[in-house]
Structure 1
Amino acid sequence: MAERMLFAGMDVGTSGCKMLVYDLEGSVVYQSSRRYQEEGTGGYRELNPDIVIRNVKEVLKDVGRNCPEGITSMAVTSLGESVVCLDADGKVLINSMLTGDCRGIPETEEIINTLGADRIFETTGLPPNELYGLPKYMWLNRNTDVIKKSAAILYYEDFVGYVLTGERKVSYSSAARSMAFDITKFQWSEEFLKLAGIRAEQMSEPVPPCTVVGTILPEMAEELGLNKDLKIVAGGHDQTCAALGSGLMGPKDGECGMGTCEFMFMMLPKVMMTPYMMKNDFTCIPYVFPDKYLSSLEVTTCGALKNWAKDSIFQDISRKCQEDGTNFFQYMDEKARGIKTDVMVLPQFGSAGNPDLSMDARGTVTGLTIHTKPEELYRGILEGMAFQMYLAYERLQVLGTEMSSIAATGGGAASDLTLQIRADIFGMEVYSLESSEAGTLGCMIMAATAMNAYSSMEEGIKKAVKIKKKFVPNPEMAEYYRKKFENYKRFYEAMHDFQ
């Protein structure tokens, strides 16, 4: 019997890295992970690249030891914006700033004043914001000598690829998080990079999805116990790879990643960067399919808000669940199932996503009485997150974007109640997936396609992405939510910028 071909995806995130090995049917053959911690105080949020790459190597060694069949190719997905600066000897010069790091806010205004917000958006597809890379690179250049000393400036995707192959190539989707990448010409904007003192040759070569970065170096293959012919393939930004791994390939497909924050992706009818999009903080992002672009919607609290509620206003219930060995969220989901409530929650507890991006927002709860039950407040939180995402989606539809279904991924997708509420509010089918790791599955599809194991990424999706459970709108609840959403919109307009 012929030996089966195996492919892998590596996910390098803010708090850990993981690698999953798959066969061509999308079944997990082996997986390994490691945890690490971010560093920094006083608004500084950093990752130590040396610690990250040490953990990445440990995961690779684990796979090399325990997956004897050997891997044909692998691709890497990673957090966005953060860069690794290396000197001429390949030594790390400084920790990486994370997305939520406070540095770069004044520089954002300076970039806007220098280049103009419209021009930034029309070039990069990103409404100018301190979330993205360029303002942070400017801060780095002004306050350290790291940029001047750097022989290579890499994202974590191409950092791993460089360590393994000695080649510097980065996917379009990772490069696009810099706010210095031209998304229609698919090249670095030298003018934009110059604001941070960066030369284009310091950055990795931008390449399309499924590009083979290189073959693993002999010394790396020996050190890690990996196949000496292992090919490293360009992966991408974590959210974009998760969209691929959830099956997003049609114009009416949607994908929603439910984690600490929540991202929803859908296809734009064409590449577009309009004033209306910038006003609502809508992005235009190069997707993994040629000439296809996505827009993203974000609710910034989500899992963080649910955890805050568990540990504060529901702490007694949480303590009792812990004593009983019961999962708090499963318990509350069951209590909140089938009820209707006047409680409404604006979920901007400290920050806000679309359509009014802010890192200094305040949440609001209304509709409480002395008779309000904990499960009503809990359900109000779940509804508030869904209403907020639907509010942004309603505004995005002006551009001609329309979904007919949503694939839900991430930790939040484990809640049937959450997904049923989404189906009822959005009025469309929502489904969870067999694979809980859409990002690494997306990487596997690219890695296998690059080796012609799939004839196309579309074939990879059809073979490897499998639906676990479908949630269909309940007509009665859909009508109830239609009316409640009109109240939510008035509530939002009155309170979302109240300080």
Structure 2
Amino acid sequence: MKPTITIDIGTTRVKLGFFDAGGDQLASDKQPTPSMADSWGSVYDVDALLAIIVRFVGNLDPGHRDSVERIAIAGVGESGGLVGPDLVLRSPMILWHDQRGAAMIDGLDRSQRTRIYKLTGLPPNANYSLSKIAWAAARTGHATGDLRWLNVSEYVAAWMTGRRWAEYSLASRTMALDLRAGEWSPEMCTLAGLDPALLPELCRADQGQEITPGFAREANLPATVTVHVAGHDHMVGAVGAGLRKGEVLNSTGTTEGVLLLNDRPSLDAYSARSMLANGLACDGSAYTLFASIPTGGSAFATLQRMLGMSESMLATCVAALSERYLSGQIDLAGVPVVIPQFRGSPPPDKSASARGIIANLGNDVRAEDIVFGCFLGLAIQFAKVLELFRTDATTIKVIGPASQNRLWLHLKADILDADLSVSEFPEVVSRGAQALASGRAGNWESCDPAPVLADPARHARLQEWRESVRPVVHNLGQLSW
């Protein structure tokens, strides 16, 4: 591996690291992702983001900093902004879940939606970048001929190198890429009323650009360092996990992702109805099939606010519930039904406006019952989404914050009645970014995987509970349970 500074721009956290030639992480930092509201929705504070990166690099051990050969940047898909040749933003840098372009999506007819899926592999949705690009181009106030749309990770790379380019896995999250051709689609640009020139040159993750002399001086880095846009965080995590075809990646963070690798895209009517998202793997070796579950680790913050718990109080509660669950001391009859769609619903409904529900409460309900019900609901939600993939995979690899939550992991394994292989190394995305920038493959064994085994007796009890609450769920309406 090449000694690498890694930058992982997540929804709620920016994770920074330094990995040496042996792949060992010798320095790390986490900072809240700097964002703010504008009159339309949510945008990045890019000045604050860049300051976080410069500060981390400046604080590295001088020997480590002098050894750096690569900077590898991964991050959320679907975000972005219009960037001029002088690298000045000509629009806000819009967050991935911002819906300001929804009017364009709402105006599509059935034939257009079908064509979009066939061409791009994505179910039309305002999360994807195309509608954001159209929104930004219509409001920029600048001539668009020399502007380029860059994802936030691509913008950071441009700031370091003076070059504007796009990476393939992120491009496949824009709804502007012809998936099978691997090229920007003039047809999609026409549909959105855009000049195709707004979309930059495409480069693979292993194709880096040297940093500018100015950035080399500012960051005190060797002038020969090259910057690589590693790609979409979930896809980069698949590289770090050494994901193979026939395996499932459960990538957890603020959201939760389900990812498979395939030899060809899944563009049939079933996949379209199921709202499964096709894409390109970061290393160019496969197509991806992906589903995003909007509520994942963000449920922690929701529970803290709702129940008035501090972070440490909730962590203590979850740990105690885990011990009780594994020892058979949870009375499932008292567990409420929690539909944890606090940030919208996953496929096959995929609605940003969906909201969560807590039902079947008795007068003796306790906060810990709601916490347990929430993680049980998350596990059921994951199982329902996984069913959409029609896979017979027997290996399910779990990465991200869920790997530290025994309650969530065991509920997931027991609901699925399937064993999990869980990374005990926390920064699998960063490890994948280093591998991509080094032109190397990832290795699951380097992630310190540990098994989480399904228990048949607990599975049976959970199935009995699901049957007992089915009338309640039925009365709640059309929900993915």
Q: TM-score, with normalisation over the residues of structure 1?
A: 0.86
Report the equivalent of 1:341: 332
Asked if the contact 2:82–2:136 (Cα under 8 Å) also holds between the matched residues in 1, the reply is no
Tell me the matched-pair count: 475
| Structure 1 residues 345-378: Cα deviation after superposition (integer angstroms, max 9, x where no partner) | 2222351112211112233334433344443332
Change (3 A) 1:153 1:298: closer
The CA distance in 2 between the partners of 1:229 and 1:309, in whole Å, is 47
Structure 1 gap segments, 5+ residues each: none
SS at match of 1:309: helix
Aligned partner of 1:302 among 290, 296, 306: 296
How far has the Cα of 1:266 moved from its partner? 2.1
Report the equivalent of 2:461: 480
How far has the Cα of 1:15 moved from its partner? 4.3
Report the equivalent of 1:233: 228
How far has the Cα of 1:483 moved from its partner? 4.1
Asked if the contact 1:208–1:288 (Cα under 8 Å) also holds between the matched residues in 2, the reply is yes
Report the equivalent of 1:218: 213
The one-letter amino acid of 2:17's match is L
1:51 correspondence with 2:19:
no
Asked if the contact 1:85–1:150 (Cα under 8 Å) also holds between the matched residues in 2, the reply is no
The CA distance in 2 between the partners of 1:60 and 1:367, in whole Å, is 51
The one-letter amino acid of 1:219's match is G
Change (3 A) 1:60 1:350: closer
1:18 correspondence with 2:9:
no
The CA distance in 2 between the partners of 1:157 and 1:186, in whole Å, is 20
The CA distance in 1 between the partners of 2:445 and 2:341, in whole Å, is 39
Report the equivalent of 1:377: 370
Report the equivalent of 2:435: 445
Q: TM-score, with normalisation over the residues of structure 2?
A: 0.89
Report the equivalent of 1:407: 397
Report the equivalent of 1:127: 123
Asked if the contact 2:403–2:424 (Cα under 8 Å) also holds between the matched residues in 1, the reply is no
The CA distance in 1 between the partners of 2:2 and 2:208, in whole Å, is 20
Asked if the contact 1:284–1:294 (Cα under 8 Å) also holds between the matched residues in 2, the reply is yes
Asked if the contact 2:304–2:310 (Cα under 8 Å) also holds between the matched residues in 1, the reply is no
SS at match of 1:102: coil
1:76 correspondence with 2:73:
yes
Aligned partner of 2:144 among 138, 144, 148: 148
SS at match of 1:406: strand
The one-letter amino acid of 1:369's match is G
Report the equivalent of 1:461: 443
The CA distance in 2 between the partners of 1:304 and 1:496, in whole Å, is 24
Aligned partner of 1:436 among 412, 421, 426: 426
Report the equivalent of 2:282: 288
How far has the Cα of 1:105 moved from its partner? 1.4
Change (3 A) 1:298 1:233: closer
How far has the Cα of 1:148 moved from its partner? 2.3
Report the equivalent of 1:200: 196
SS at match of 2:231: strand
The CA distance in 1 between the partners of 2:16 and 2:176, in whole Å, is 29
> Which aligned pairs between 1:415-430 and structure 2 lie closer than 5 A?
415-430=405-420
How far has the Cα of 1:336 moved from its partner? 4.8
Report the equivalent of 1:116: 112
Asked if the contact 1:298–1:389 (Cα under 8 Å) also holds between the matched residues in 2, the reply is no
The one-letter amino acid of 1:221's match is A
Change (3 A) 1:319 1:163: closer
The CA distance in 1 between the partners of 2:210 and 2:310, in whole Å, is 52
Asked if the contact 2:250–2:256 (Cα under 8 Å) also holds between the matched residues in 1, the reply is yes
SS at match of 1:232: strand
Asked if the contact 1:82–1:155 (Cα under 8 Å) also holds between the matched residues in 2, the reply is yes
How far has the Cα of 1:209 moved from its partner? 3.4
How far has the Cα of 1:115 moved from its partner? 6.5
| Structure 1 residues 412-468: Cα deviation after superposition (integer angstroms, max 9, x where no partner) | 32111111111111122213223211211110111122xxxx4xx1xx31563331x
Give aligned-pair identity as a percent: 22
Structure 2 gap segments, 5+ residues each: none
Report the equivalent of 2:134: 138
The CA distance in 2 between the partners of 1:347 and 1:233, in whole Å, is 36
The CA distance in 2 between the partners of 1:321 and 1:71, in whole Å, is 37
Asked if the contact 1:27–1:464 (Cα under 8 Å) also holds between the matched residues in 2, the reply is no
Asked if the contact 1:413–1:432 (Cα under 8 Å) also holds between the matched residues in 2, the reply is yes
Report the equivalent of 2:169: 173
> Which aligned pairs between 1:85-100 and structure 2 lie closer than 5 A?
85-100=82-97
How far has the Cα of 1:293 moved from its partner? 1.9
The CA distance in 2 between the partners of 1:170 and 1:78, in whole Å, is 13
SS at match of 2:289: strand
Asked if the contact 1:30–1:67 (Cα under 8 Å) also holds between the matched residues in 2, the reply is no
The one-letter amino acid of 2:91's match is I
The CA distance in 1 between the partners of 2:284 and 2:320, in whole Å, is 45
Change (3 A) 1:492 1:182: farther
